[in-house]
Chain A
C-alpha cells in the first residue's frame, strides 16, 4: 500500500514537474550582445537565425539588446549565446574566443568588457 501511494505520488509529482517546465514555443527573450555597427547587426542576427528554433531576431545598434522569439523545445538561451559568441560577439554569459574576436572586421571590433 505504501508503495502504491509512493508510486502515485511520484507519478503526480512527475506530472506536475513536467507541467512546470512545460516549454514555451514562443518564448520572447532579450539579452545584451556587444557590438558596434550595422555590419555587426547583420552578423549577430544571422548567427541567431542559424540556431534551430529561433523564429525572429532583432539586434538594436543603439541599446545592444538582442530580442528573439524562440521555441524552447528546440533550443535554449545558452544555445543562442554560444552561436553568437562563435561569430565573435560577447554575450552576458558566453564570451567569444580571442581568435573569433580578432576575425571581426576592424570597424566591428567593439570594446570588450
Chain B
C-alpha cells in the first residue's frame, strides 16, 4: 500500500516538480497552516492552503491574496471592480499565472482572468517570488503563481457554499463528486454569482461596482492506476461573465452607442478543455513522463462609452516533460518541449489588430540537492516565437541553510514577453484618453518585446520568543528592464502613449516580514514593503503611477481548540498603503485634477467563522470597516463624454464599508 501511495504522490508531483516538497508537506502535516514556507525548497516559494483562503470573503482567486505578504491586491478601476494583483511591484502580466501548471491568465484574459477562478475550487496556491522555473515558459519576470484545484479522488461527495454581501453580491458554489470506479473519479463544480443592485455610495452618479452575472462550470475526471503507475486528468470548463457599469441611469438597450448617458458592458465567454497524463516507470519512482494539452477559447465583447473593444483568443498549449535522475536522486533533471499557438481577433474601435502567435521551445532544468543544507536549480530553455524570435532563457535558484532554522536564497533569471497593450490596459478605455502607439517598427502593435532580468536575495530565520514560535524574514528583489512597452500616463490627461523604453526602467522591492505566535492559537503576521519602481518617460523619470512606495500588512488570526467538533475562528487584517504617484492631470481645469500623489490610507478587514460541526459552518465579516473611500473616483464625472473624463484611476476603495455572511455545508 505504502508503495502505491508513494507512486501516486510521485505521479502527482512529476509534473509540478518545482513545487514538489511543498505538496508533500501538505499531505503529511496534520494541523494545517495558512501559509507554508518550507526551509528546504530551493525557490522562494510559499504555499497558500485552502485554510488561508477561508480567511477572507475570498470569492475568487484575485481576492484570495489579501492576507498574503508576497502579493499586493490593488483596486483596478472605478468601474469594473476587478482587483488587480502585483508582485514585487509589477502587475500580473509580468507574472506567470498557471492553473495546475497550464498557463491560464494570459493574453486576452489578463485583465479579469483571476476573477474567473472561484475560491472554493482551489486546493492550494504556490507563489514563487523571482524568476521561477523554466518548465512552463519564458514569460514570467517577477514571479509565478500556480493554482491547484481540488482533485476528484480526494474530494468530498458534496459541498455547498452560499454568500451574500451588503454591496448586493451573491454567490452560490456547489460541488458534486463521485467515485466512478476504483480508478476513476469525477467532480462537477458549479459556480454562480451576481450583483443585482446599483450602488453609488460616493454620489458621483456612477456605479461603484459593476452589475454582474457569472456562471462558471467545471467538470473534471481523474484516472489513477497504481499498478501501472498511470495518472490522468480531463477537464471541461465553461464560463460566461457579464458586467455592466457606468452611470446609474444608463440603460444598455436604450443608451448604448449614444451620448445620452455613459455606460459600459464587458461580456466574456470562455470554453476550455485540458488533459494531463503522467506515467511513472515501473520500479523507478524517480523517473516519469508527463504530457499536458490545453485548448481554450476566450471571447470578450465590450464597450466603454463610445469605445468599442472586442477580443477573441483561441489558444492551444502543450507541454511534454520527462523527469529523471543522473546517477542518484541528489541530481535530478526535467526536460521537455512546449508548444503554444494563439489566434487573436482583436478590434479596437475600427482598428483590426488580429494576429497569430506561435512558439515552440525546449527546456532543461537540473536540480542538485545534497539532501542536507544546499540545493540548486539551474534551468534553461530555447524558444522560437514568430514575433519574439529565437531566444534563450536562463534561470537559477539556490538555497543554503547556514545554521538550524535559517535559510538563504538567491535567484536570477530572464523573462521575455509580448505586451498585449490593449487587453492589459483596458481600464483606460473608460476615459477620454486617446491611445497613441509611438513606435512602428516592432512586431507587436509596432512595439518590441519586453525583456527583463530579475535578481533576488532572501533570508529567513525561525526562532523562539518566550517559548513561542517566531519567524523573521527579509528579501530584496530587483527587476531590470532591457526593453519595456512603456504605458505613459505622465504626459497628458487626454492621452495614453505606448512606446519602447528609452532609458532606464527598474523595480526594486524590499520586504521585511515578522510572524509570531503571541499565545497558543493566536498568530500574528506582519510585513513591511518598500517599492522603488522608476521608469524613464518622455517627460522625465517618475515612480510608476498607482504604486505605493511603502506598504504595511498586519494579520491576526485566532482559533479556539476543537470542542466537540465545534470551533471559533477570528481573523483581522490591516493593510496600510502609503502615498502613490498619480497620473499627470495638472493641465486639466482645477476641478478635474488629481494631486501629484494620493493620500496614504488604511483598510481594515475582519471575519468570524463559527464551525458547528464538520458538516456545517457559518461566517460573517466586514471589508474596509474604517470606511475609507477614494475622495474623487472619476474625473469629469459630470461630463463623461467631455475631454477630462477618466474613470481609470483607482488608488483606494471606491465602495465604502461592506459586510458579508456566508455558509458552508459539506457531506463527507
Residues of A within 8 A of B329 (CB): 49, 55-57
Does B190 count as interface, using CB distance less than 8 angstroms? no
Does B203 count as interface, using CB distance less than 8 angstroms? no
Does A32 count as interface, using CB distance less than 8 angstroms? no
* A-facing residues in B350-400 (Cβ within 8 Å): 370-372
Contact, CB under 8 Å: A55 / B328: yes
Question: Given the complex of chains A and B, what is the CA–CA distance between A46 and B285 in angstroms?
Answer: 19
Please encode chain A, from 37 to 63, with 1 for each CB lying within 8 Å of some chain B CB and 0 for all others.
Answer: 000001001100100101111000000
Contact, CB under 8 Å: B372 / A46: yes
Question: Given the complex of chains A and B, what is the CA–CA distance between A93 and B582 in angstroms?
Answer: 75
Contact, CB under 8 Å: B283 / A55: no
Does B286 count as interface, using CB distance less than 8 angstroms? yes
Residues of B within 8 A of A45 (CB): 371
Residues of A within 8 A of B330 (CB): 49
**Chain B residue, CB-CB nearest to A74:** B327
Contact, CB under 8 Å: B371 / A56: no
Contact, CB under 8 Å: A56 / B283: no
Please encode chain B, from 278 to 294, with 1 for each CB lying within 8 Å of some chain A CB and 0 for all others.
Answer: 00000111100000000
Contact, CB under 8 Å: A52 / B371: no
Contact residue among A26, A28, A42, A54 (Cβ-Cβ distance under 8 Å from B328): A54
Q: Contacts A49-B328, A49-B330, A55-B328: A69 and B283 contacting too (C-beta < 8 A)?
A: yes
Does B239 count as interface, using CB distance less than 8 angstroms? no
Contact, CB under 8 Å: B284 / A42: no
Does B325 count as interface, using CB distance less than 8 angstroms? yes
Please encode chain B, from 325 to 336, with 1 for each CB lying within 8 Å of some chain A CB and 0 for all others.
Answer: 101111000000
Contact, CB under 8 Å: B371 / A42: yes
Question: Given the complex of chains A and B, what is the CA–CA distance between A93 and B286 in angstroms?
Answer: 28
Question: Given the complex of chains A and B, what is the CA–CA distance between A20 and B329 in angstroms?
Answer: 29
Residues of B within 8 A of A69 (CB): 283-286
Question: Given the complex of chains A and B, what is the CA–CA distance between A55 and B327 in angstroms?
Answer: 6
Contact, CB under 8 Å: A26 / B283: yes
B1 to chain A, nearest CB (A): 15
**Chain A residue, CB-CB nearest to B286:** A56
Residues of A within 8 A of B370 (CB): 46
B458 to chain A, nearest CB (A): 24
Residues of B within 8 A of A57 (CB): 328-329
Contact, CB under 8 Å: A55 / B325: yes
**Chain B residue, CB-CB nearest to A43:** B372
B280 to chain A, nearest CB (A): 12
Contact, CB under 8 Å: A42 / B283: no
Interface size class of chain B, counting residues whose CB lies under 8 Å from the partner chain = 10 to 19
Interface size class of chain A, counting residues whose CB lies under 8 Å from the partner chain = 10 to 19
Contact, CB under 8 Å: A26 / B371: no
Question: Given the complex of chains A and B, what is the CA–CA distance between A42 and B40 in angstroms?
Answer: 13
Contact residue among B283, B285, B286, B371 (Cβ-Cβ distance under 8 Å from A49): B371
* A-facing residues in B149-180 (Cβ within 8 Å): none
Contact, CB under 8 Å: B371 / A46: yes
Residues of A within 8 A of B371 (CB): 42, 45-46, 49
* B-facing residues in A60-88 (Cβ within 8 Å): 69
* A-facing residues in B37-80 (Cβ within 8 Å): none
Residues of B within 8 A of A56 (CB): 285-286, 325, 328-329
Contact, CB under 8 Å: B372 / A26: no
Contact, CB under 8 Å: B372 / A55: no
Contact, CB under 8 Å: A28 / B283: yes
Question: Given the complex of chains A and B, what is the CA–CA distance between A55 and B285 in angstroms?
Answer: 10
Residues of B within 8 A of A52 (CB): 327
B88 to chain A, nearest CB (A): 34
**Chain A residue, CB-CB nearest to B281:** A26
**Chain B residue, CB-CB nearest to A51:** B328
**Chain A residue, CB-CB nearest to B370:** A46
Question: Given the complex of chains A and B, what is the CA–CA distance between A9 and B283 in angstroms?
Answer: 35
Please encode chain A, from 10 to 44, with 1 for each CB lying within 8 Å of some chain B CB and 0 for all others.
Answer: 00000000000000001010000000000000100
Residues of B within 8 A of A26 (CB): 283-284
A16 to chain B, nearest CB (A): 24
Residues of B within 8 A of A49 (CB): 328-330, 371
Instruction: Kindly name the residue among A26, A42, A45, A55 whose own CB sees the greatest number of chain B CB atoms within 10 A.
Output: A55
Question: Given the complex of chains A and B, what is the CA–CA distance between A55 and B284 in angstroms?
Answer: 9
Residues of A within 8 A of B283 (CB): 26, 28, 69
Residues of A within 8 A of B325 (CB): 55-56
Contact, CB under 8 Å: A42 / B372: yes
**Chain B residue, CB-CB nearest to A68:** B328
Instruction: Kindly name the residue among A26, A28, A42, A46 whose own CB sees the greatest number of chain B CB atoms within 10 A.
Output: A26
Residues of A within 8 A of B285 (CB): 56, 69
Residues of B within 8 A of A54 (CB): 328
Question: Given the complex of chains A and B, what is the CA–CA distance between A111 and B372 in angstroms?
Answer: 24
Question: Given the complex of chains A and B, what is the CA–CA distance between A54 and B285 in angstroms?
Answer: 14
Question: Given the complex of chains A and B, what is the CA–CA distance between A28 and B483 in angstroms?
Answer: 52
* A-facing residues in B260-297 (Cβ within 8 Å): 283-286
B103 to chain A, nearest CB (A): 32
Question: Given the complex of chains A and B, what is the CA–CA distance between A34 and B371 in angstroms?
Answer: 19
A63 to chain B, nearest CB (A): 11
A96 to chain B, nearest CB (A): 20
Question: Given the complex of chains A and B, what is the CA–CA distance between A91 and B459 in angstroms?
Answer: 39
Question: Given the complex of chains A and B, what is the CA–CA distance between A28 and B286 in angstroms?
Answer: 12
Question: Given the complex of chains A and B, what is the CA–CA distance between A42 and B328 in angstroms?
Answer: 15
**Chain B residue, CB-CB nearest to A55:** B328
B663 to chain A, nearest CB (A): 41
A7 to chain B, nearest CB (A): 37
Residues of B within 8 A of A55 (CB): 284, 286, 325, 327-329
A31 to chain B, nearest CB (A): 17
Question: Given the complex of chains A and B, what is the CA–CA distance between A45 and B285 in angstroms?
Answer: 17
Question: Given the complex of chains A and B, what is the CA–CA distance between A56 and B10 in angstroms?
Answer: 13
Question: Given the complex of chains A and B, what is the CA–CA distance between A57 and B328 in angstroms?
Answer: 9
Residues of A within 8 A of B284 (CB): 26, 55, 69
Instruction: Kindly name the residue among A28, A42, A46, A69 whose own CB sees the greatest number of chain B CB atoms within 10 A.
Output: A69
B608 to chain A, nearest CB (A): 40
Residues of A within 8 A of B327 (CB): 52, 55
Question: Given the complex of chains A and B, what is the CA–CA distance between A57 and B285 in angstroms?
Answer: 12
**Chain B residue, CB-CB nearest to A26:** B283
Residues of B within 8 A of A28 (CB): 283
Instruction: Kindly name the residue among B285, B328, B370 whose own CB sees the greatest number of chain A CB atoms within 10 A.
Output: B328
Question: Given the complex of chains A and B, what is the CA–CA distance between A39 and B325 in angstroms?
Answer: 24
B488 to chain A, nearest CB (A): 55
Residues of A within 8 A of B372 (CB): 42, 46
Q: Which 6 A-B pairs have the closest CB atoms?
A: A26-B283, A56-B329, A55-B328, A42-B372, A49-B328, A26-B284
13 contacts between A and B (CB under 8 A): A26-B284, A28-B283, A42-B372, A46-B371, A49-B329, A49-B371, A52-B327, A55-B327, A55-B328, A56-B286, A56-B325, A56-B328, A56-B329
B interface with A by C-beta (< 8 Å): 283-286, 325, 327-330, 370-372
A interface with B by C-beta (< 8 Å): 26, 28, 42, 45-46, 49, 52, 54-57, 69
Known: A42-B371, A56-B286, A56-B329. 5 other contacts (CB 8 A): A45-B371, A46-B372, A49-B328, A55-B284, A69-B285
